[in-house]
Structure 1
């Protein structure tokens, strides 16, 4: 094949750029028993269904439900305007507490009252994030 140098050969140049991805921040702290974190944190909490007498549950036999614990000092209230205003207007009011802010479901297999095997999803069984409220 002979190319004619008088006429340039057309070409296409393609470049790709990775799109900027928004990073979702996890505002809650995840802690373990070895940490000395005094602020509101999410800790591991293993639930064993057989141990608490829920022998009608087939699976899972146990799971990590997580729990919230820790202090909610005055400086953390800036994130929650309603709680901050209540504390400012009524200093004798109860301190804000560390509580679940986001929860998710677990799927389980269990026997119902008629001993039929049921597969279901139970909402609010796992703490995903903790916060002061």
Structure 2
């Protein structure tokens, strides 16, 4: 007799954060949609994209929720009057590809890091 033991697929829990919109009643830390339009800023040196979905983080971070870093929790416990407390901040960001003119008016294609908020959390 031959017995094979194999592990089945495991579920991986990811902290995906909360996604909200302007109609949401959520008060906890959330990722909200925000479209940035470079033309509205007068940034005519950007060729493409003319606009992109940047997103932003906003909301409350209560002390009882585990912050991203244990250090934050310890600092708040050790010095409650001197620390600002946990705040809602990006925990994952991604780049965008951009086509633009440099100072010498040459066309440049580049990947600009940390331009899109993918996930928010308390830190």
What does residue 31 of structure 1 align with?
A: 20
Q: CA deviation at 1:75?
A: 1.3
Size of the aligned set, in residue pairs, is: 115
Q: CA deviation at 1:83?
A: 1.3
Distance 1:79 1:60 in 2: 32
What does residue 117 of structure 1 align with?
A: 107
Give TM-score scaled by structure 2 length: 0.85
Q: CA deviation at 1:120?
A: 0.6
- Does 1:73 pair with 2:65? no
Residues 115 and 21 (structure 1), Cα distance of their counterparts in 2 relative to 1, 3 Å cut: farther
Distance 1:110 1:45 in 2: 21
- 1:23-75 Cα offsets, whole Å, 9 max, x none, are 45243111111111101110011100010121100100000101000000111
Q: Is the 8 A contact 2:68 2:121 kept in 1?
A: no
- Does 1:106 pair with 2:104? no
Q: Is the 8 A contact 1:77 1:83 kept in 2?
A: no
Within 5 A, what are the aligned runs for 1:17-96? 20=9, 22-23=11-12, 25-77=14-66, 80-92=69-81, 93-96=83-86
Q: Is the partner of 2:66 in helix, strand or coil?
A: helix
Residues 24 and 49 (structure 1), Cα distance of their counterparts in 2 relative to 1, 3 Å cut: farther
Residues 119 and 78 (structure 1), Cα distance of their counterparts in 2 relative to 1, 3 Å cut: closer
Give TM-score scaled by structure 1 length: 0.79
Q: CA deviation at 1:21?
A: 5.9
Unaligned runs of 5+ in 1: 1-18
Q: CA deviation at 1:20?
A: 2.2
> Once superposed, what is the RMSD of the aligned Cα atoms?
1.6
Structure showing greater Rg: 1
